[in-house]
A and B are shown apart, each in its own frame.
Chain A
């Protein structure tokens, strides 16, 4: 039993970036990224404003073509996979939430089931259960019939995360998931991500808070303003010099509960 398991090849990485250069409008620089994101990994993307973090996430979701190189999703070229199939494997939470037509909180979470339903199919009781469970997870239970236009910024952010949870993908791409959130909900949302990763999902998140990234991510990708990038385990990457250069900001370093913490040095 254990022998046959040992003989099996390691599972294919969920996402493979091969010489990937993201296409940031108005820029020609950019180092190629070569990395693999596996089941059970949580990657944090750190970098200053305009370094291309969101563009990278959109490219990883197949929503914009790369300038160079390719992306494999579970061993198959992302560009050739049908969108519906991608949507079952990969969910993305955007940084901005568009205001379209009026819709309720429950309706919004339920659209996460779209990639699983056939054209004529209505949402089943199980789909409703999945959406309600996701809303409970992000602390939005009891708000199902509220219109999204009446929600606060933080509530909308949590609703977007609930929609991704309802979508139930293998990989979560989260663009600033802690945006607009109070301290408690920042931790609550990142705990949800950690639990999903512990269950064999993987997550890629852009974060502005280095200290949250240090606590929650096992791998980091640093994107420098000049287009360079480096990546590795969180332990390897959390070097004060590298972070100071990343943000162009002097830092004070300490340690809390065995994890390094960084604060901006203020004169």
Chain B
């Protein structure tokens, strides 16, 4: 219990620090004192505009997106008992991106785009789970393979949509493929989803721990396995869709963050889920800050940064854990 509080408080501190760094850095760098002055309600008006209207909303959007992706990854890994499971690997984010792209091409409003993204993620879930289930028993391997193929299919659909779209729209649409936060709008919907999902998942934490031991063992210990699995799929679809409408397809956060935390903290979901939300947020906030400043004024898509950070870290952890 004390360890849980300690870990979460340290992560919370690191989260505030990462948000502070994100709002201080940019084309006009601010000193810590100037940043603090603005955040406590004072400061110069130029600084206020810069932080409160430009950098803070984007930093908050990055944080929420990262948290959502990490939580989605953590949930799917328990569901499939496979540390390689992730909303991207299983094609959920591809489905969400296709849904969002289609509704954007049809000229629908932002709420419809979010709804279409959720529908795409859920459809992807149904296809993957339904096909992999097929005739009776399914194995995580079969599910994972089905997910990889479905994800590749969605990738092809996205490429097709981009190819037939008018060239003027391309720059705005490419970010669905790469993951980019420069098009992010209000961060609050993502925050609301993140907070609700983490709070709702906490009482399920112990059931998830048991589910991680396999569905038979979980059923034998009193877990209603099938309803829990479907709930997880629904929640993972919702969380992924929210993250994708925010920032497009940012990879590796859902894969790297829970895996890293597990190596350090063990595999108690009551700790891993909130810790994933915070650590995923920290990772994407810092990655987005890098993406904005690394070759400024040119901006990189944040997906490039997460991949460049994620791949070596992942390989190192894999190597060390042998």
Contacts and interface: CB of A to CB of B under 8 A. Distances in A.
Interface of A: 58, 61-63, 82-88, 91-92, 94, 98, 100-104, 107-108, 111-112, 114-115, 117, 119-120, 122, 167
Contacts of B203: 119-120
B170 interface: no
B293 interface: no
Contact of A100 (B81, B221, B270): B81
Contact of B267 (A82, A102, A167): A102
Contact of B217 (A84, A85, A94, A119): A94
B214 A83 contact: no
Contact of A88 (B202, B213, B222): B222
Contacts of B266: 102-104, 107
Nearest to A112: B221
A100 B210 contact: no
A87 B221 contact: yes
Nearest to A148: B213
A83 B219 contact: yes
Interface in B213-261: 213-214, 216-217, 219-225
B218 to A, nearest CB: 9
A109 to B, nearest CB: 12
Interface in B181-223: 202-204, 206-207, 209-210, 212-214, 216-217, 219-223
Interface size class, chain B: 20 to 34
A100 B212 contact: yes
B57 interface: no
A24 B148 CA distance: 33
A144 to B, nearest CB: 13
B1 interface: yes
Among A111, A112, A120, chain B packs the most CB atoms within 10 A around the CB of A111
B222 A83 contact: yes
Interface string B1-24: 100000000000000000000000
A108 B204 CA distance: 18
A117 B213 contact: no
A61 B219 CA distance: 9
Contacts of A88: 222
A100 B203 CA distance: 21
Contacts of B204: 119
